[in-house]
Amino acid sequence: MSTHNPQAAPATDTTRIHNIGYRSYDGPRLGRAYARRSLFSQSLRGAYGLGRSAKSKVLPMLLYAVMCVPALILVAVAVVGKQSKLSIEYTEYAIYLQMVIGIYLASQAPQSVSRDLRFRTVPLYFSRPIERVDYVLAKYGAMASALFILTASPLLILWIGALLAKMDFWDQTAMFGQGLVSVALLSLLFGGIGLVMAALTPRRGFGVAAVIAVLVISYGAVSTLMGIAYATENTDVIPWLGLFSPITLVDGVQTAFLGAPSAFPDGAGPGSGAGVVYLLVVLALIAGSYGVLMRRYRKVGL
Partner 1 sequence: MYNPTVARLTYRALLGRRRAALLFLLPGMLLVIAATIRLLNGADDQVAADVLGGFALATMVPLIGVIAGTGAIGPEIDDGSIVYLLSKPVKRPTIILTKLTVAVAVTMVFSAVPTLLAGFILNGNGQQVAVAYTVAALVASIAYSALFLLLGTVSRHAVVIGLVYALVWEALFGSLIAGARTLSVQQWALALAEKVTGEGLISSEVGLTTAVVLLAAVTVAATWFAGHKLRTLTLAGEE
Binding of partner 1 at residue 174 (CB under 8 A)? no
| CB within 8 Å of 147: residues ≥ 6 apart | 101, 104, 105, 186, 187, 190, 191
Binding of partner 1 at residue 210 (CB under 8 A)? yes
Binding-site size for partner 1 (CB under 8 A) equals 35
Among residues 158, 179, 204, 256, which is the contact residue for partner 1, using CB under 8 A? 204
Rounded Cα gap, residues 42 and 58, in angstroms = 18
Among residues 182, 201, 245, 262, which is the contact residue for partner 1, using CB under 8 A? 201
Binding of partner 1 at residue 106 (CB under 8 A)? yes
Among residues 87, 231, 272, 299, which is the contact residue for partner 1, using CB under 8 A? 231
Region binding partner 1 by CB under 8 A among candidate stretches 14-22, 172-180, 230-238, 280-288: 230-238
Region binding partner 1 by CB under 8 A among candidate stretches 19-27, 136-144, 203-211, 284-292: 203-211
CB of 40 to partner 1, least distance (A): 21
CB of 144 to partner 1, least distance (A): 21
Region binding partner 1 by CB under 8 A among candidate stretches 4-12, 160-168, 201-209, 246-254: 201-209
Region binding partner 1 by CB under 8 A among candidate stretches 15-23, 82-90, 187-195, 225-233: 225-233
CB of 218 to partner 1, least distance (A): 9
Among residues 124, 221, 280, 287, which is the contact residue for partner 1, using CB under 8 A? 221
Query: Which long-range CB contacts under 8 A does 241-244 form with residues at least 24 apart?
Result: 242/269, 242/270, 242/278, 243/277, 243/278, 243/281, 244/218
Among residues 203, 230, 294, 300, which is the contact residue for partner 1, using CB under 8 A? 203
By beta-carbon proximity to partner 1, the closer residue of 68 and 216 is: 216
Rounded Cα gap, residues 228 and 116, in angstroms = 43
Binding of partner 1 at residue 122 (CB under 8 A)? no
Rounded Cα gap, residues 273 and 252, in angstroms = 11
Q: Which of residues 41-80 bind partner 1 (CB under 8 A)?
A: 52-53, 55-56, 59
By beta-carbon proximity to partner 1, the closer residue of 182 and 223 is: 223
Among residues 61, 84, 119, 133, which is the contact residue for partner 1, using CB under 8 A? 119
| CB within 8 Å of 33: residues ≥ 6 apart | none
CB of 277 to partner 1, least distance (A): 20
User: Which residues of the shown chain bind partner 1 in the complex (CB under 8 A)?
Assistant: 52-53, 55-56, 59, 99, 103, 106-107, 115, 118-119, 200-201, 203-206, 208-210, 212-213, 216-217, 220-221, 224-225, 227-229, 231-232, 234
